[in-house]
Structure 1
Amino acid sequence: MRRFLSRVVPVAVAAAALAAPALPATAAAAPELSFRPLHYNINGYNWGGYAATGSGFTSVAATWTEANATCNSTNDLYAPWVGIDGYGSSTVEQTGVATDCSSGSPVHQAWYEMYPANPVYLSRSSYPVSAGDHITASVTYAGSSKYTLKLTDSSRGWTYTTSKTLSSQRASAEVIIESPTGAYPNFGTLNFTSATVNGSSLGSFGPVALDPSNGAYEARTGALGSGGTSFSETYLRE
């Protein structure tokens, strides 16, 4: 089983890792880009954030400000995202923004994924994202295996919404940062706010707290605040 290290407050657990989005390989401002291959970080421990577990999850949402990341190496990449499933299940419905350092500089790109289908990347010209942008993401179950995925960049004035169908368990809901290579760029501190699950605070579900590690902790997940709707992710090392 592919696993990542998790830190419950106060008990540690382990669970299955999720395939993260493949990310753009170059920083060229072109309409079509090549992407890194989709893959698991098998030795993983690559999630940071919170995962609510149980059954019957119908929605998850959160807001963050896109971090001004500094690349340590061309292997660095990570993505903040929200999703349903993925924690111990074989499917996931997720959307967020990826930051890729393969060009030597951070490149931001919006995406969504209905795993096991391949991720879908939004055009950088139609849906641009830069450091400092205010991002809101949500995934909502609409019944009959249908999901609505929505991503808004209020700084740029765009919203992308899509509806997809996938048979899934709906056994978890997550607000996460993830690096499929296990190598984070230096994103400083990223703050998630307005984090809700099923229309209630994320904290009301007693979620599992996760710290990414690749031999040593790479980031630290802060305690839930603001009535269980906000928390920070603080970079520690690549």
Structure 2
Amino acid sequence: MKLSSGNSLWRHAARAIAPGCAVLAVAATLQAAPAAAQSNVPVHVGNWAGYVVKGDFRQVSATWVQPAITCLNPGTFQRVVPWVGLNGAAGLDGRTALPLMQTGAESLCVSEAAVYAALPGLHIENLAADLAYADPRVAGLVMQAGDRVSNGFGAAADSLCATGVFPDACETEQIHDAWWEGYPAPPVTYADAEVRPGDTMHAEVSWDGGAYTMTLENRSRGWTRTTVEPSTAPARTAEVVVEGHLNAALPGFTPITFTDIRIDGRPLADYGPLAYGIAATNRFLMPGPVDGASYTIG
């Protein structure tokens, strides 16, 4: 079975695998090693790697080059998803700010074996989205439980793929697509918008008090997609991050440099950004230092 962004089983299997769900699963804070971040700062661990800013905001934007990826573990999902968004983390009042309005581009390695190995855990993780408003803490626990199930089956599938017994089921395909999401609602793929490694992407999310506007541009291919979602919920956090599936394997990928990062018209360095990192099964991913309106990850 060939998988594709248009009709892939993984896309329809569960919204939990798509961008946005990470916020509920942040479970720990570690001290960053100087060699990794060039400063001994706390790193919030989940499945975002990058920077989050808390406050009252109206706009966030950034530019990046979509990475080339290398598929490493055929039995598990491997994904890197650069995106920008408003809300999704705990605001200054300590409460999770929702809905998380975000847009970006995904680069994914997936096989038939990985899809079926992930399905049991993804069904559990879907419950987390349903609980996001009612009880974010319980939602986070549910998501972590589903993650453990997914990773257990994924590790078994990866070991089976390593034997070479099921070459067709373990054939890994790369998928690159553009999307937007208003988590906890499911993500929406721009099926007619092509994304390839090396494309220059620009994303912006803004809020005018009554609606969020999510705009994604592929400056290399000349297209722009804009979605407007009504909401009076204020923007309490801003994110410019790379996402991976929670605690799963990351693919190899070329370094991603976010440039021209603006939050309400000001560069990222003007704020007190919080560093986030991914404790993947095959590496620990965290952002490099902020340099004005840019930083590099990977």
* TM-score, normalising length: structure 1: 0.79
- Structure 1 position 115 matched with structure 2 position 183: yes
SS of the residue corresponding to residue 130 of structure 1 reads coil
SS of the residue corresponding to residue 211 of structure 1 reads strand
SS of the residue corresponding to residue 15 of structure 2 reads coil
Q: Please name the residue that 1:57 is paired with.
A: 57
Q: Please name the residue that 1:3 is paired with.
A: none
Asked whether the equivalents of residues 70 and 105 of structure 1 are also in contact (C-alpha less than 8 Å), the reply is no
Aligned AA (2:275):
A
Whole-angstrom CA distance in 2 between matches of 1:196 and 1:151 = 15
- Structure 1 position 95 matched with structure 2 position 103: yes
Match 2:202 to one of 136, 159, 177: 136
Aligned AA (1:147):
Y
* Count of residues paired in the alignment: 203
Residues 63-102 of structure 1 mapped to structure 2, 5 A cutoff? 63-74=63-74, 75-88=77-90, 89=96, 90-102=98-110
Whole-angstrom CA distance in 1 between matches of 2:282 and 2:187 = 29
- Structure 1 position 150 matched with structure 2 position 215: yes
Whole-angstrom CA distance in 2 between matches of 1:26 and 1:166 = 38
Deviation at 1:105, TM superposition (A): 2.7
Deviation at 1:220, TM superposition (A): 2.6
SS of the residue corresponding to residue 203 of structure 1 reads helix
Whole-angstrom CA distance in 1 between matches of 2:234 and 2:284 = 30
Give CA-to-partner distance per residue, 1:143-175, whole Å, 9 cap, x none: 22x011000001111000111112424110000
Deviation at 1:85, TM superposition (A): 0.3
Aligned AA (1:81):
W
Whole-angstrom CA distance in 2 between matches of 1:140 and 1:27 = 33
SS of the residue corresponding to residue 173 of structure 2 reads coil
Aligned AA (1:230):
S
Asked whether the equivalents of residues 80 and 176 of structure 1 are also in contact (C-alpha less than 8 Å), the reply is yes
Whole-angstrom CA distance in 2 between matches of 1:160 and 1:33 = 22
Match 1:204 to one of 260, 270, 274: 270
Asked whether the equivalents of residues 209 and 234 of structure 2 are also in contact (C-alpha less than 8 Å), the reply is no
Q: Please name the residue that 1:38 is paired with.
A: 15
Whole-angstrom CA distance in 2 between matches of 1:232 and 1:33 = 31
More strand as a share of residues: 1
Q: Please name the residue that 2:48 is paired with.
A: 47
Whole-angstrom CA distance in 1 between matches of 2:282 and 2:232 = 36
Taking every aligned residue pair, what percent have the same amino acid on both sides?
Answer: 32
Deviation at 1:32, TM superposition (A): 3.9
RMSD: 2.1
Whole-angstrom CA distance in 1 between matches of 2:197 and 2:68 = 5
Asked whether the equivalents of residues 87 and 172 of structure 1 are also in contact (C-alpha less than 8 Å), the reply is yes
SS of the residue corresponding to residue 173 of structure 1 reads strand
Aligned AA (2:65):
T
Q: Please name the residue that 1:28 is paired with.
A: 4
More helix as a share of residues: 2
Asked whether the equivalents of residues 209 and 231 of structure 2 are also in contact (C-alpha less than 8 Å), the reply is no
Q: Please name the residue that 1:22 is paired with.
A: none
Deviation at 1:37, TM superposition (A): 1.2
Whole-angstrom CA distance in 2 between matches of 1:164 and 1:65 = 26
SS of the residue corresponding to residue 193 of structure 1 reads strand
Quickly say closer, same or farther: Cα 1:28–1:217, change in 2 above 3 A: closer
Q: Please name the residue that 1:10 is paired with.
A: none
Asked whether the equivalents of residues 78 and 245 of structure 2 are also in contact (C-alpha less than 8 Å), the reply is no
Asked whether the equivalents of residues 45 and 214 of structure 1 are also in contact (C-alpha less than 8 Å), the reply is no
